[in-house]
Amino acid sequence: MSKNVHHVISYLDSAHVKIILTRNGTSIYMDYNATTPLDSEVIQAITEALQEAWGNPSSTYVAGSKAKAIINESRENVARMVGGKAEDIIFTSGGTEANNMVFHTAVEHFRRNCKAAEQGTGHGNGCSGLPHIITSNVEHDSVKLAAEHLQREGKADVTFVPVSKVTARVEVEDIVAALRPNTCLISIMLANNETGVIMPVQEICNRVRSLNKQRQQVRVLLHTDAAQALGKIRVDIHELGVDYLTIVGHKFYAPRIGALYVNSPGMKTPLYPMLFGGGQERNFRPGTENTPMIAGLGKAVFKDKLHFNSHYPGSDILPNTCNVSILGPTLQGWRVLSNCKRLLASVGAACHSDSGNRPSHILLNCGVPSEVAANALRLSVGRGTTKADVDAVVVDLRDTVKLLEEMN
């Protein structure tokens, strides 16, 4: 099979892929970039919170006080994971909400700055025209569609910077070249969910922060969606230099809940709510806290328990992600997977599962030919895998390819 396997990203070295996955009966799960199973200690933390911390965290009786204590501890743990402070963490329902909150904030902050300038209480440089947002053309839909919505509604101009067809990375110089006087936000994911390519977020932030000091215009806010990076590579907000960082629990053995890191929210960095209610999360994200899920998130990210599969300084690929295509007219990714006896994987992002059999726009934007992208398989692994599991998947794929080629 090695002769007709085409690596979607040519320099993707399989030696960089640490194979560690769990078994599901006779099946072998290789779709960890879509979601991860809950860690046993996380399940225990959730169960204890359900039983013992069922009270409203805003209440003063024992069950409520215990809930508040769990939330505070989890906030500390999440902050520690990314190198921030507890007060920098805002709990959300997930990554989609966190990303949307950043886009909402950027546009609202631009509007308020310009209004203040009109009233003579601020500067008006960069206030002509709509707020301008820069992102890449390989972002998750929760960024891509949020940006497109703002553009369609006439609330913002958006530049989707294309990634290199050679490296599948967005180039720093292309981001800098896209800057305008009215640019208010740059949002670039830390690692791509389909290709595993790590983006030069730190380099982008260094350049833009330097330019921000020279600009007389509205400050450019910096955001990265770190959903796929956390738990796989080292993530430190001080090294990255971002204003906002999105955290998604179910990508690293936590429950389906999220958080948004904000560098001193409401002080150094603006943050405007999309919801209004009882004042929880310091009014940035009101709504009675989901204590059990927050407890699970806090347990999963606890520093001594968090398992980084590997850390390659300067590496370009996530250590758990392999995106390959098996070439052949009948070997489309969906067809191969539907005939595999053991492998449980995907052809791309889980949120695109209802898009039929169309090739991934992420791969197409990376320069992969349509007929190759149509055959793509995304194999992403997690904890606890043996070499035997990987060998079994290779055999399963080889037998499936042979079967489909014979049927053809």
Q: Is 340 a catalytic residue?
A: no
CA–CA distance, 335 with 347 (Å, rounded to integer): 10
> Degrees (nearest 5) of the Cα angle 303, 308, 312?
130
- Grouping H, G, I as helix, E, B as strand and the rest as coil, residue 6 is strand
Instruction: Give the amino acid at 397.
Output: L
> If DSSP states are collapsed to H, E and C, what string results for 194-205?
CCCEECCHHHHH
Q: Which of 184, 322, 351, 366 is catalytic?
A: 351
The CB density around residue 403, as the number of other CB atoms within 10 Å, is: 14
- Contact between residue 136 and residue 163 where contact means Cβ atoms under 8 Å apart: yes
Which H/E stretch holds residue 146? helix 141-152
Residue 336 DSSP class: H
CA–CA distance, 255 with 300 (Å, rounded to integer): 9
CA–CA distance, 221 with 225 (Å, rounded to integer): 14
CA–CA distance, 401 with 408 (Å, rounded to integer): 11
What residues contact 163, with CB distance under 8 A and at least 6 apart? 136, 137, 138, 169, 170, 171, 197, 365, 366
Tell me which residues are annotated as active site: 351
